[in-house]
Structure 1
Amino acid sequence: MPVVATDTVDLTWSRCAGQLSTRTKAHTARAEVEFVVAVIDLAEVLPASGRYTPGAMTLFDTARPAQLMIESPRTMLILRANREAVAEKSRHGRDLFGAATVEVPASAAAVITGFLASIVELTVREPRNAQTLAEHTPGLLAAAIDIATGHDRPASGRDTDLQRELTAFLHANYHNPDLTVDDVAAALLVSRRTLFRIVGSDGVAGRLRRLRIDHARRALRRYPDRPITLIAAQAGFRDERTLYRTFRREEAMTPAEFRAYATTHENHPGLQACGS
């Protein structure tokens, strides 16, 4: 059970036996809520203080298939945060770190581990304050992502504002299949060059593609009788064929296969914390 739990995060301190946890495409197909999960291996106890020193810190994006291997019994600190809450604070937006997992550098991992361990300790004396601090950990994970992916230099104030405006504009307009890079640049009152600089490695097309795929996933899961042609149009795809081709490339299954998983299985357990 989590030692700290809020609407967007839960923090668990557990002793884990050796095990392999696997998250497949089928799991992501059945998920209504996705998470960023930080798994920290607490390597050893310091005799003088009884505190643990941090070992490896790995971040998992549960929107992508992944495996977690624990080769022998370990003490683990596990933080699970709502993916949308983390994405709102990350410079990468919904793309996060662009992979299933990423390793956080040891120096940053040590600072983060110390903060999280202090929250766990605070629950004994001041549980309400511990919960208040825990509510801010999505921002901590967003910073860890930016550091781990080599984007730890602060953006300028103007760039930060533009990134927020870009995210808001794309979320409001991705349903339009005719939306172009020039349209986005004009809406933000910037040049194409500035837009390409702030949008990140995936580009405008990649951001739009991910938003449209996410919309289609939600609709396929929630509306089992809605025609796929209609879902394609509402998600911003030009036609059903474009949805089919893009969905299969991104999700390794067709929209119909995804819908079959989503409607015949209960919600997945996700990357769960180990039993304490």
Structure 2
Amino acid sequence: MDILTTEFFQRALIGGVLIGITAPLLGLFLVLRRLAMIGDTLAHVSIAGVALGFVTGVYPIAVGLVFALAASFAIEKLRKAYKTYAELSIAIIMSGGVALASLLFSLGKGFSVNVTSYLFGSIYTLGNTDLVWIAAVTVVILASVGLQFKELFMMTFDEDAAAVNGLPARYFNLMMSVLTALVISVSIKIVGALLVSALLTIPAACSLIVARSFKQSVMLVVAIAEAAVIGGLLLAGVWNLAPGATVVLLLIAILILLLAVKNGRRV
């Protein structure tokens, strides 16, 4: 286990632990609100921003963050325009993100290898600047959720009733979209844009199998994600595996195990 003493692995572990808190925590709210696919959408748009960052020589994660934030505002606008078919907003923005990313790839073929690391994750290349961004986003997420937990709970389970009781539904919807954009923009270098939605949704799916209350779900979703992140990184480090993929596959294994145990109890 000499890898534990290396600086690159320690940075990877710190970044993974921080994302293991914020991504599944927000993912639980998204899953319960049937907005699980928003993660994929913002991740694809972020990749377009990352590609633009390489083209212009600007810090890629910062540009990806700007793109993800713009996409979150656009999704909310489209959701208002298509109230009956709100999922259309996600499909439209995702299509635009993929198209823009493809266009930028064609403009700068020389950086395609660098962008690939954002598609599939490159947690071992995290630098101190990346950790600062991740830590800042973690503080923002925890503060926002902690200070407005009751309001977010009401919005999650009955948005109409929350609005009737005076809660500004538009503000909280936009806030969740912005927070999700923040998490995804700093997560894509850890697990990759193609896998980031797994960190948002699979821990939530696991917790909903065994949790008996919403508060219990919140605690379990973080615990499950952290177990998968730490375990996945250790396995990947020892056996020289792709870290992002290992974390996601471990999450899936946990989900299968919990489903098997639950079904076994019913028999």
The alignment's TM-score, normalised by the length of structure 1, stands at 0.26
Identify the structure with the greater strand proportion: 1
Identify the structure with the greater helix proportion: 2
The alignment's TM-score, normalised by the length of structure 2, stands at 0.26
